[in-house]
């Protein structure tokens, strides 16, 4: 039974909707709030002769109360298969250490780590160039339109990054851009954007992605190269009977790579390292998903 008072303003409706969606993913809450705000504002705009309270009272009869809308969004989210639908209802690593080889999240995270050096470099360059040009042009007549375009580009890039995070890391992110009031003046839109904490957190995310991207890429490349080198190199030496490994500073280790037991041990270490790399990638994917939720999702 709904005991909440009927909201009389759009802000009150959105507050009740946010409260009703408590515990849901930030991406789902963001989409629900944006959809509701757009619908309510459009209804108010098309009913010029009525007050906001009167329009809301009429709209709630057809659109639904905040609690009803929250339940619809939860039900809809449960029926939509995401990129990794099974792992949402099953515990992580259900088959132990070696089960990660069948976990699509690990491969998605590994792909994200390899791509992050490219995306991170682009985000960092765009953010630094945009902020520098905005600061330099703000005293000119073209400074304000340029600032608005730059802020808009930050929101679009953040949305695209969110789609990548959801597609590769399986973290629910907003699936629509935040709404912008069409009746606001140019100056009003800029003030709204500057006052929005997500504008600055998104810029911070873009700057942060360069060091993170380099770190992710190095971890992924070193892990993949080392595991494959140990596994395939040892296998090749066992098959051909030739080993070209030279470690003059550690003679016993060099000798190890020239004996069958040593090569078998090195190959076993390489195989185990493949699983370690997948576990590390999965952990980094989970951690980065939390970072993306905190900095990119606008509530």
| Sign, CA torsion 223/226/228/231 | negative
Residue 151: closest CA among 137, 134, 163: 134
Non-local (6+) Cβ contacts of 186 within 8 A are: 144, 145, 148
Question: Is the domain of 264 the same as that of 124?
Answer: yes
Q: Are residues 162 and 270 in the same domain?
A: yes
Q: Which one has a higher pLDDT value, 117 or 47?
A: 117
Helix, strand, coil percentages in the chain from 3-state DSSP, rounded to 5: 75, 0, 25
pLDDT (tens digit per residue) in 257-290: 667 777 788 889 999 999 999 999 999 999 999 9
Q: CA–CA separation, 172 vs 26, rounded Å?
A: 8
Torsion of CA 258, 260, 263, 264, to 10 degrees: -170
Specify if 140 maps to a domain: yes
Residues 152-168: b if buried by 16+ CB within 10 A, e if exposed: eebbebbbebbebbbbb
- pLDDT confidence of residue 248: 60
As a whole number of Å, the end-to-end CA separation of the chain is 26
87 in a structural domain: no
Task: Say if residue 216 is in the same domain as residue 149.
Answer: yes
> Above 70 in pLDDT, residue 246?
no
| Overall domain count for the chain | 2
Q: How many helices (H) and strands (E) does the chain have?
A: 10, 0
User: Average pLDDT of 24-43?
Assistant: 87
In this structure, the answer to whether residues 205 and 245 fall within a common structural domain is: yes
Pick the last residue of a domain from 54, 81, 108.
Answer: 81
Examine the domain organization and report whether 151 and 70 are in the same domain. no
Q: What is the pLDDT of residue 91?
A: 44
- Note the pLDDT of residue 235: 84
Quick one: pLDDT band at residue 90, thresholds 50, 70, 90?
A: very low
What is the tens place of the pLDDT at every residue in 153-199?
998 999 999 999 999 999 999 887 766 655 556 666 667 777 778 88
Model pTM greater than 0.75?
yes
Name which of 146, 120, 145 is nearest 131 in CA terms: 146
In a domain, 63, yes or no: yes
Any domain includes 227: yes
Residue 131 has pLDDT above 70, yes or no: yes
152 and 179 share one domain: yes
Kindly indicate the confidence band of residue 87, based on its pLDDT and cuts at 50, 70 and 90: very low
Q: Is residue 280 part of a domain?
A: yes
3-state DSSP assignment of residue 245: coil
CB neighbours of residue 52 within 10 Å: 17
When the pLDDT of each residue in the chain is averaged and rounded to a whole number, the result is: 84
Instruction: Tell whether 161 and 61 lie within a shared domain.
Output: no
End position of a domain, from candidates 26, 51, 81: 81
Shared-domain flag, residues 203 and 75: no
Position 271 in a domain? yes
Does 57 map to a domain?
A: yes
Using alpha carbons, select from 232, 283, 227 the residue that is nearest to residue 113. Answer: 283
* Under 8 Å between Cβ of 296 and 198: yes
| Residue 52 lies in domain | 10-81
116 and 62 within one domain: no
**In the prediction, which pLDDT does 89 show?**
43
Give 58-62's long-range contacts (Cβ < 8 A, gap of 24+).
Answer: 60/6, 60/7
- 91 falls within a domain: no
CA 84 – CA 86 distance, rounded (Å): 6
Tell me, yes or no, whether 60 and 118 share the same domain: no
What are the two backbone dihedrals, phi and then psi, of residue 172, each rounded to the nearest 5 degrees?
A: -65, 120
Regarding whether 236 and 121 lie in a shared domain, the answer is yes
Q: Domain check: are 70 and 136 in the same one? A: no
Domain end point (choices 51, 81, 111): 81
């Amino acid at each position: 039974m709904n005991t909440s008072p009927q909201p009389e303003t759009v802000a009150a409706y959105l507050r009740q909707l946010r409260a009703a969606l408590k515990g849901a993913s930030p991406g789902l809450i963001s989409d629900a709030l944006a959809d509701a705000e757009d619908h309510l504002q459009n209804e108010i705009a098309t009913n010029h002769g009525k007050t906001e309270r009167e329009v809301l009272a009429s709209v709630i009869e057809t659109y639904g109360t905040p609690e009803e809308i929250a339940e619809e969004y939860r039900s809809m989210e449960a029926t939509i298969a995401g990129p990794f639908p099974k792992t949402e209802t099953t515990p992580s690593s259900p088959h132990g250490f070696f089960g990660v080889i069948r976990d699509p999240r690990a491969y998605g995270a590994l792909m994200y780590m390899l791509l992050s050096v490219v995306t991170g470099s682009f985000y960092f360059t765009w953010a630094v160039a945009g902020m520098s040009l905005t600061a330099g042009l703000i005293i000119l007549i073209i400074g304000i339109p340029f600032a608005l375009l730059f802020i808009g580009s930050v929101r679009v890039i953040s949305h695209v990054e969110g789609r990548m995070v959801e597609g590769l890391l399986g973290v629910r992110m907003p699936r629509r851009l935040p709404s912008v009031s069409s009746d606001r003046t140019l100056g009003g839109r800029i003030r709204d954007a500057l006052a929005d904490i997500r504008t600055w957190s998104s810029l911070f995310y873009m700057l942060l992605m360069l060091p993170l991207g380099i770190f992710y890429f190095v971890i992924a490349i070193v892990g993949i190269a080392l595991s494959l080198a140990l596994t395939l190199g040892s296998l090749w030496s066992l098959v051909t009977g030739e080993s070209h490994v030279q470690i003059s500073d550690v003679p016993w280790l060099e000798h190890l790579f020239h004996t069958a037991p040593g090569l078998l041990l090195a190959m076993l270490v390489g195989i185990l390292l493949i699983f370690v790399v997948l576990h590390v990638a999965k952990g980094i994917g989970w951690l980065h998903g939390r970072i993306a939720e905190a900095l990119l999702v606008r509530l």
